[in-house]
Structure formats: structure tokens, C-alpha cells
Amino acid sequence: MNIDLKGLRVAIIGGNSPCKQILEILLGPGLKELDIQVLVVADTLTQVEGIKYAQEKGVFTTMDYGEVCKLSGIDVILKLKNDEILTCMLEKVNTEHTSIIDLDAYRAMSFLNFLKSEEERLKIKRKIQSDKIDKQGIIKLFDQFTTIIQENAKEENRYLKIEREDLLEVEKEISQIIQGSMVPTFIINNEHIITHWNRACEELAGCKAHELVGTDRQWVPFRSAKRPTMADVIVGEMSEEEVSKYYGSSWRKSGLINEAYEAEEFFSHLGKEGKWIFFTAAPIKSPDGKIMGAIETLKDITEDKKTHEELELQDKELSTLYNKYKKSEEKYRSLFNNNPSPIFIIDRQTFEILDVNHRVEEEYGYIKTELLGTPFLGIGDTSDETIKEGMESLPESKSILFTKKKHFKKDKTSFFVNVKVVNARYSHRDVLIASATNITESVEKETQLIQAGKLATLGTMAAGMAHEINQPLNVIQICSDLILKMIKKGVKIPDDELVIMAKDIIDNVARAAGVIKHVRDFARQSERDLKKLVINDPINDVFKVLGHQLTVHSVKVNLDLDPEIPQIRAEHNRLEQVFINLVTNAIDSMDEKAKKEDALAEKILGIKTYAENGWIVTEVSDTGLGMTDEVKRKIFEPFFTTKETGKGTGLGISISFGIIKDYGGTIDIFSEYGKGATFIIKFPAIG
């Protein structure tokens, strides 16, 4: 190694042990007169010996290799570290002004020996120039210097011998790896001579290794006349124009390996029907970047080519099918968006909205992107779990209808819809398709009809309500009169009697207020709001408003209500209306029987509740006149009545039927004319 050190400006990359040894000499007194400058020491590790020593000596250090590349005025970069990223960065350095010395273990030792020799040479030179040394002294110094040079040479020779043995071992291992590789591979040196030709290459090319290794006849298996292989192109460092001369447009630079080329060609003489070969060649370089040879790999892609041709044919067919599908898809999208009902495409597992049609945007006030990815159940009444339960249990290719469900627009206004959900496939995935039909107008009309039915029922209950209110008023009146009379007579009322009368007044005021509140609540028009409730509660409330009528009409009531009965999902107010209608009809039927057949016949009203096979059952029975088959067929029709003109609207049972159906319930009638009737009402149990 021969480098002019005088005035040298140095950068060192790699702060390991050799770095410190080099710094000790470059920054030491032995080479001071050469005015060497160490501008920077770089390493990503901050605790290595070289970095620490450089910092002690005031030399600039950095963890960013890029800073080294950006510095100007550097004469030489000593590279003591093997790093792939670093190699890429150093490729950007202008080598016309800056030399890069790659110091592997051997070269680092050799460079250190060179520095030590220079240090010793300058030391001897200074002594000779001092005029204080005789001829014998000079001879002695020369012998010392010669000894150092010889020792350095011996050390380097010893290292080279070890390196050579290691290289031979590595060469042996590489040969075994290449020979055992399943990939057809051959290697040429920098004189274009074949050094390796593995078994896979023998099978592909049909030429044995012993016929080609040691020759430059690598073209023979592929060409009829001598022509550069891709490996020869690499070793010869041909220009792109020269490569194109031999390979036309079939070659390209490798996208995976730096400085490698690749190409594919058809060789008609290989095999029975010819073969398509894909080949890649890459340079083999020495540590200083010189090309020492090239390695070329080959791959038989004949089957791939056939498959590719088949795929191209399939692509053409698919393209035709796709165009047809595109037209169908456009037609479907048009039908989807122009459907008069809002349609939601819902994820089968998460119930998130995947797609909606234009009608959804118009009806709900959202834009499409605001709904995508949001829960479908969130646009409805979240307390109503019937839709979620129904969708979770919906079988494949089946549908389910949810009636009179409350949905909300973007501005929070509510409206009623019938929701039909289908379990289907959409864009190759399992989905639920839900269509929502706005029925707000019909629900409002039905609500008005129910309200009219309530008011009609209140008319029939007027006498009973008057009695229910008069009773507590009479008690209040009596107590008040007694207190006033005793005060006027000057009679002192005992405290205990005064307390009793005051308590009677308070209790009866509360009783009257309760009756009035219950009537007011019953008469109030309420929005549809399904809640969990026990069916016994609306049944018991019937007797708060009909208790007096039952007494006046001499009706005996048999109540058999299961105290442990499960809940249902319904509205208390409307269920109470159902049972009031049934009870008043029962009273009328029993009165009619007494009038027509037997005035002394016992009038018995029975109400029983129990759970059976997932249903909550209520039986309302009476000992009235009963029904003929014709009456049973028509009883649920609006305005049908068997009562005398002016005594019935014909809406009670019809409204009750609609309410029961709304809550997923059923109603059945068992009756024989002259023998009373039994209404059996069932609702699905929850929880």
C-alpha cells in the first residue's frame, strides 16, 4: 500500500478497534509533520473504541453516514465497516476527488503496517537530518527499519496464507452449493472462462461440465455460432447499445439485483418442442469494486409461457364476460338506486351498513358516506331488540318482515317503517338486504282509530268512573261536614278522631286523583313505544275503571294470574285497551243472555295468564251468549257488531286484533252459541 500522507484530509467510517489504532498513529506525534487532518469519524454505535477516542481528541463524530458523504474537501474515506446501506450511500461520492479505501481485516492490518512504517521512516529521517549520527548509527537505523519491514511482510504473508486457506475452503463450499443447487447455474471469470457448470445446467443445456469448464464455450448449448452470453455481457461491461444489438428488446435491467441483467428467449433446439429460457446474470466483484467474473442462472419457463398464453385467452374471454357483466351491473345499479323503497346492504356479522341506494339519502336525509360503516340498528329505536334478534337468527336465503318499526332521520325526526330483511349474497360475501317502506301515514291513521276506540270505551265507562270518583268524594264530604258541625257547636274534637278523619280525607283524595290520572293516561294519545312489561299489570288496571260496572252488572270475576310469568314487549296503555274491550264485550254478552234466556243465570268472567312453550298466554272467558260460526268469521272485521243499533261501533275487537298482531301475538276464539266464549291471546315471551 502506497499513499501520499502529506496534507491528507481523512474521513473514517467504522469506529471499531482498528479505527482507534489508526487514529492513534494519524493523530500522534510520529506523523505530525505531515499535517494529516482527520475531519470526521462516523459510526451508528456511540460506545465503540474509535468513536470514544476521536471524541477525546476533539475530532468531529456522527451517527449519520450521510454527513460524511456531504462533507467537502475529503481526500480519502477509510471504510472499516461492511454495511449494505453504507455501500449504496458511498456510490454517490465523487471518486474523482475522493478515494474510498475499503479496509477489510487484512487491508486494515496492511494499512496499519504502512502507517507504522511511515512513522518509523520519518523518525529515522529526523535522526539523520540532526547531524548527530555517524555512519554506524545510520547502518543501525537502516537495519531496524529493514527488520520492521520484514516483520510486517511476514505478518502479511502469514495472514495471506490463512486467507488463502480460508478462500480455498470457501471456494470448495461455494462449488458444492452451486453444484447441488436445483437452479441451472454457471460462472465465468474476468477472462470469460467457465469456472463452474452445475448438474442442473447440464440437464437443461444438454452439455456436461467436463466438456465446458476451463473453456470460453458457454455459448455452445444455446447458439449455432459464437455470441456473448449474458454473463459475457456483464464481464465485458458492454454498453446498452451493444446489449440491444445481441438481445434486441428481450433484455432489461434486473429490478432485484443491482447491475444485473435479465432476458428471456425461445430456443427451438432444446428439448423435443423447444424451450423458453429466462436467464439472469450478475457481476462478481472484488472488495475494491473490480469485476472478477459473472454468475448466470437459467430457468425453464416453457410451462409458464403456455400457462400465460392460456391465461391471455382466458383474459379475452373474461373481458367479454366482464363487459357483459358491466352492462348487467349498470342495469342492476340503476334498478337498485331507482327502487321506490330505501334499500340497505348490511354486513352479516357486524350489522354495519355496506351500501345504500339513492332513496335512502332522500328518505333519511343523510349522504351515502355518512351511513357507510355505521350500525344499521342505530337508525332505529335502539331499545327495540326484535330486529337484531330476528337478523341474528335469519337462515340463509330466507326473509323476515318487521312491522311498524320506528326509524330516525338525520334531523332526529321519527317515522314508521315496515322492514323486510333477506339473507343473501352481494359482491361475493354474505350480507343482509333490508328494504324499508314508510308507513307513517297509515300508522297515524291507525293511531287515530285506536284513539277513537279509546274515547268510545271511555263513554261506556263513564258511569263506572263517576261511581269510582263519587265514593271518595262522599267520604271527604262526610268528614268535612262533621268537622264543621263540631266546630260550630264548640265541641272539641279529640286528637285521635281528628287524625282518623284527616287520614280518611287524604286517602280518598289520593284514590280520586288516582282514578282521574288513570283515565287521563288511558285517554291520552301515545306514540308507539314498545317496552318490556308483565301482562298481569294492564289486566289489573282494567278493574280500576270497570270495577263498578262489574258490580252493577252482578258479574263474578275469577282471576288466575301467574305471579312469576315472564315479560313481553308491548305498550301498557294499548294492552289495557284490548282487555277493556274484551271485558266490556263479555259483560254485554252475559247481559244479553240474561235478557233472552235466563235472568237468574250466573255471570262469570274468567281471566287466566300462564307461560307455555315460549309464549305468554291470556285466556278471557265468559258465560255469555256465545257466537255462531258466521259471527266468529266476521268478528275481526271493522264496524261489524251484533249489538243493537247505537250501542256499538264495531271497532273494539277489530282494533284489539290490530294491536295484538302489532306485538307479534295471536288471538283465537273458542265459542259455541248459547255456551259462552273464550278468547286465547298469545304473545312471544322475552328474556
Q: Which pLDDT score is estimated for 490?
A: 75
Mean pLDDT of 130-151: 70
Q: Which pLDDT score is estimated for 322?
A: 52
Give the right CATH number for 9-157 from 1.10.357.10, 3.40.50.720, 3.20.20.70, 2.60.40.10. 3.40.50.720
Most confident of 174-178, 257-261, 524-528: 257-261
Please answer whether residues 433 and 344 qualify as being in contact, where contact means their C-beta atoms are separated by less than 8 angstroms: yes
Residue 453 phi/psi, 5-degree rounding, is: -65, -40
Question: Domain 339-433, CATH 3.40.50.300 — does that match?
Answer: no
CATH number of 444-684: 3.30.565.10
Q: Which pLDDT score is estimated for 110?
A: 82
**Topology alike, domains 9-157 and 181-300:** no
Mean pLDDT of 538-552: 80
Please answer whether residues 610 and 565 qualify as being in contact, where contact means their C-beta atoms are separated by less than 8 angstroms: yes
Residue 534 has pLDDT above 90, yes or no: yes
**Helices 135-180 & 105-129, crossing angle to 10 degrees?**
170
Mean pLDDT of 443-447: 65
Q: Which residue has the higher pLDDT, 352 or 632?
A: 352
- CA angle, 259 as apex, 204 and 285 as ends, to 5°? 85
Q: pLDDT band for 646, please (50, 70, 90 cuts).
A: very low
Q: How far apart are CA 87 and CA 292, in angstroms?
A: 18
Q: Which residue has the higher pLDDT, 537 or 121?
A: 537
Residue 328 has pLDDT above 60, yes or no: no
Q: Which pLDDT score is estimated for 53?
A: 92
Q: Which helix (H) or strand (E) element contains residue 520?
A: helix 495-523
> Please, what is the average pLDDT of the chain?
81
Residue 459 has pLDDT above 60, yes or no: no
Q: Which residue has the higher pLDDT, 244 or 652?
A: 244
Q: How far apart are CA 110 and CA 20, in angstroms?
A: 15
Residue 19 phi/psi, 5-degree rounding, is: -60, -45
Q: How far apart are CA 580 and CA 330, in angstroms?
A: 56
Q: Which pLDDT score is estimated for 636?
A: 66
Of 405, 428, 409, the closest CA to residue 348 belongs to 428
Q: Which pLDDT score is estimated for 440?
A: 79
Q: Which pLDDT score is estimated for 602?
A: 87
Q: How far apart are the first and last CA of the chain?
A: 91
Q: Which pLDDT score is estimated for 233?
A: 92
Q: Which residue has the higher pLDDT, 346 or 655?
A: 346
Residue 382 has pLDDT above 90, yes or no: no
Residue 135 has pLDDT above 80, yes or no: no
Residue 1 has pLDDT above 80, yes or no: no
Mean pLDDT of 100-118: 82
What pLDDT digit, counting tens, does each position of 480-531 carry? Answer: 776 787 777 777 777 777 777 777 777 777 666 666 665 665 555 555 567 8
Q: How far apart are CA 369 and CA 365, in angstroms?
A: 12
Q: Which pLDDT score is estimated for 319?
A: 59
The domain segmentation of the chain, as residue ranges, is 9-157, 181-300, 339-433, 444-684
Give me the CATH topology for the region 181-300.
Answer: Beta-Lactamase (3.30.450)
Most confident of 155-169, 424-438, 493-507, 661-675: 661-675
Q: Is 196 helix (H, G, I), strand (E, B) or coil?
A: strand
Calculate the alpha carbon distances from 435 to 280, 344, 438, 639, 662 in Å.
59, 6, 10, 33, 19
Mean pLDDT of 176-195: 86
Mean pLDDT of 321-329: 57
Q: Which pLDDT score is estimated for 677?
A: 92
Q: Residue type for 255, please?
A: G
Mean pLDDT of 2-9: 83
What pLDDT digit, counting tens, does each position of 576-621 carry? Answer: 878 888 888 888 888 888 888 777 778 999 999 999 999 999 999 9
- Look up the pTM and report it: 0.36
Q: Which pLDDT score is estimated for 224?
A: 86
Q: Which helix (H) or strand (E) element contains residue 284?
A: strand 275-285
Residue 462 has pLDDT above 50, yes or no: yes
Please answer whether residues 680 and 619 qualify as being in contact, where contact means their C-beta atoms are separated by less than 8 angstroms: yes
